[in-house]
Amino acid sequence: MRYKLIILLMVAIWVILINRLYQISIKSNYYYERLAKENVEQSSKIKPTRGEILDRNGKLLASNKIGFSLAIKPHMKVESKEFEDVLALIKNSFNNIDSQLLKKVYKKKNSPYNHKFIQVIDFIPYDDMIRVYPILSLNKDITVEATTKRYYPYGKYLAHVIGYIGKANQKDIEKDEIVKIVGKVGRVGLERYYNKVLQGIPGERVVKVNAYNKELDLIKYIPPKGNRDIQLSIDADLQKFIYDTLVDENRSAVVIVMKTSGEILAAVSTPSYDPNLFVDGISSKEWKKIRNNLEHPFTNKLVHALYPPGSTIKMGDALVISKVAGDYVLKPEYCRGYMRIGNSKHKFRCWSHWGHGSVDLRKAIRESCDVFFYNKALYIGIDKLSHGLNEIGLGVRTGVDLPREYKGVVPTKEWKKRRYKQPWYKGETVIAAIGQGYTNITVMQLARYTAFLATGNMVTPHFATVINGKSYEGEVKKVKFDPTIFNIVRNGMYDVCNNRRGTAYRAMHNLPIVVAGKTGTAQVTSIPQDVKRRAHESELAYFHRSHAWFTSYAPFNNPKYVVTVLVEHGGHGGSTSGPIAAKIYRWLYQKGYFGEMIMPRLLKEIY
């Protein structure tokens, strides 16, 4: 037994000795060999040029300004005359240079372990640099390198679509190694959604250096893969026209113009902001100005704001009811200006105090009768109504290529129980049937839903049409409904714009193309039961006024385009949003979007 222990002990000692010998002679050799190689070879990543964003006609929406960055030699003492001379040279070469700030930046980045020049100025415009370039480039303590800076030529007009880039933080770097090299990352909008495409792929440069860190030879060069551009379906001129129209009318609004295939021609959210302010970091003064604006210019209302859809939901109601209850949706209802549920004394009022009399489906859409849809929705219940509306795009994300799109709410019994721990009441079904109560959707959802009403197809709205040289088309899905009911619904939308009793007739009937649409007046405050006469919208305080909707498609017989307009606290959809949509259709017609004249009507001036 004693001999066995001695043998085991000797074996253990030999194992330890052999392992140590391996560590010293072999593994350490790899380490020191690599260390020696690093002292001889230096590798640096080459930053790619960020891809540009263009509109459908090739106009630049996000471009790169050419300029220069400036760096100072490392290991200099910040209090030395040598360093002070370098700072003085830089300060005298350019206007508005804060030498104390440069000193802070240099001091923070300077380290005994850093042998690379320290960048103290990120961007100097080409015109400013070119006159002093010969002097600076000959100074051994300074390096000048070509660089670019993101620029948004259309500024506020496309801020909510294009977005902007900003300086990368540690969280960004942890998510994507390339961000550490390029130093910038898309913060919002398409810049964020397509960041991985736009930022490109870095290259690499490996050089041989001597003991003084001087380059001796180029060993390897891999060029970066940059300039990965994206072309959009956006028409920048249309975008600008709509924005200026809304500003001229002092409207806080959201407008989407879309092909029925899903290509977005314009998407305007007002008020807006200048994205160029964020490229180098916004000042606290400018940030407070944007943040404190009660109309929320920084909010992308295309996908990040939720609104009750009001009467624009009624066509969807009709289709869902027909799918659940068949021809019941064709049964006329009698509207006397209100309805009651059971023995309750509570009146669920129609917008018309006098009522609409006997109402069929087409008339209910044309004149936007609430009572008709109250009764029909009660017949099938909220759950079936809600699930059917989800199927046609309400209360679900559209899939549009913008980040963090909101889902919205089309309520069910289970949703209310989970959200509020309360049961569902029949009266809430009545309110939901006219797009009020808990129902809240995005404007993007309503535009997509309108494209469905025009064609029967559920499309995916999208801005990008060409991504890094490859064409992109959104998904298209056919949704089946009773063609007879669909035809009546569309005829009702035709009447809204072309029948004298239609709620948008005044704004839409005299256009060079035939438009079908629907108005909506979405209340933001409830009306007490004891109020006999509704106050006119103009009599209400601004934030108590209803949101004004108008959504439409054209031409009626061959739908190509959707125009959806929401004016916040604008009052009535027909009188507020309708005229804006009419101006857009005239612009589209004049610019040739509809081809030859479809109707022999005079084209009114659009300016």
Domains, in order of start, for the chain? 43-59+153-232 (3.90.1310.10), 66-147 (no CATH), 233-273+442-478+503-607 (3.30.450.330), 310-392+407-439 (3.40.710.10)
Active site residue 283: no
Q: Which residues contact 214 (CB under 8 A, 6 or more apart)?
A: none
**Rounded to whole angstroms, how far apart are CA atoms 517 and 552?**
4
Ranges 26-40, 124-138, 442-456, 569-583: which has the least confidence: 26-40
**Between 519 and 597, residue with greater pLDDT:** 519
Identify the pLDDT of residue 445.
Answer: 98
pLDDT digits (tens, 9 = 90+) for 208-248: 876 666 677 788 889 999 889 999 999 999 999 999 999 99
Question: Residue 606: its pLDDT value, please?
Answer: 40
Least confident piece of the model among 40-49, 66-75, 586-595: 40-49
Q: What is the largest CA-CA distance in the chain?
A: 115
User: What pLDDT is attached to residue 434?
Assistant: 96
**What pLDDT shows up at residue 308?**
96
Asked if residue 348 has pLDDT above 80, the reply is: yes
Q: What is the mean pLDDT of residues 250-275?
A: 96
Q: Nearest Cα to 317, choosing from 331, 335, 330, 329?
A: 329
User: What is the band of 359 on the pLDDT scale with cuts at 50, 70, 90?
Assistant: very high
The yes-or-no verdict on residue 598 having pLDDT over 70 is no
Please report the pLDDT score of residue 607 as a whole number: 36
State the Cα–Cα distance between residues 90 and 151, nearest whole angstrom.
25
pLDDT digits (tens, 9 = 90+) for 468-517: 999 998 899 999 999 999 999 999 999 999 999 999 999 999 999 999 99
Q: Scanning the structure block, which residue is given the tokens 């397509």?
A: 194
Position 31 scores a pLDDT of: 56
Record the pTM.
0.86
What is the structure's pLDDT at 545?
A: 79
Q: Which residues are CB-contacts of 520 (< 8 A; sequence separation ≥ 6)?
A: 309, 310, 311, 312, 313, 435, 547, 548, 549, 550, 551, 573
DSSP 8-state assignment for residue 462? B
Marked catalytic residue, from 261, 311, 386, 546 = 311
